[in-house]
Amino acid sequence: MLNEVTEQIRSNYDKYSMFSVLLFTEEHPFIVKALKDPDIYDALNQLTGPNLLLFTSMLFKGRYRYPSPPPGVLANLCPIWVEPKENLKLLPLFKINDSRDLPLLVLFAFSENDPDLYWMTHEINDNSKNDVFNSIRKAVGPIVLDISGSLNEPRKKIFQRARWSMRKLHAKKKLKDLLEIIGLVRGAAGM
């Protein structure tokens, strides 16, 4: 899978300013439903436009496993998370710990003559297929506007503008969460 994505990126490097990949497992059925819906697929295609290439990748689901104790020993062991080795090719590339952190949208860019890979992640809400689309739209929409028409600029500069858009989105989310907590505390205190 990684080889296919790499080949697609090489063949489309001159056409797109940035790339992205939506990472999920079979534990996220609404993402699969959203991607199979032709209306959502067309809307994602229009949203990304000619500036951002969006890949999707369903990774294998990890599992918990109990270690086997030595013969003749009665043990009460803690389960250990086992990540499929196929996932270990892609997850460390973006410093994702394991498939329990998914679903994520990873936006990335690189330069041909610069060995660095610039990337950032955004959590995807997968409670329904509309939530999936809205979550992708909220992340990708401002970035596409910021990077439109910038194919000739250095990739690092394009990525810095995209990262600024993503940071604003994350700050808004944190502020909204904080205001919800304050509202809950005020409600519980009877203020």
Kind and range of the H or E element at 161?
A: helix 155-189
**What integer pLDDT is reported at residue 26 of this predicted model?**
85
pLDDT mean for each 10 residues of the chain (191 residues): 67 74 87 87 85 83 84 79 85 83 83 70 87 88 77 73 80 86 80 65
CB-based contact 100:62 (threshold 8 Å): yes
Kind and range of the H or E element at 98?
A: none
Helix and strand counts by DSSP (H, E) for the chain: 5, 6
**Closest among 121, 78, 65, 124 to 97, alpha carbons compared:** 121
**What integer pLDDT is reported at residue 125 of this predicted model?**
87
d(CA 51, CA 78): 47
Structure tokens at 1: 């899978």
**What integer pLDDT is reported at residue 191 of this predicted model?**
65
| pTM (two decimals) | 0.76
Structure tokens at 44: 């994602």
d(CA 22, CA 49): 16
**What integer pLDDT is reported at residue 151 of this predicted model?**
63
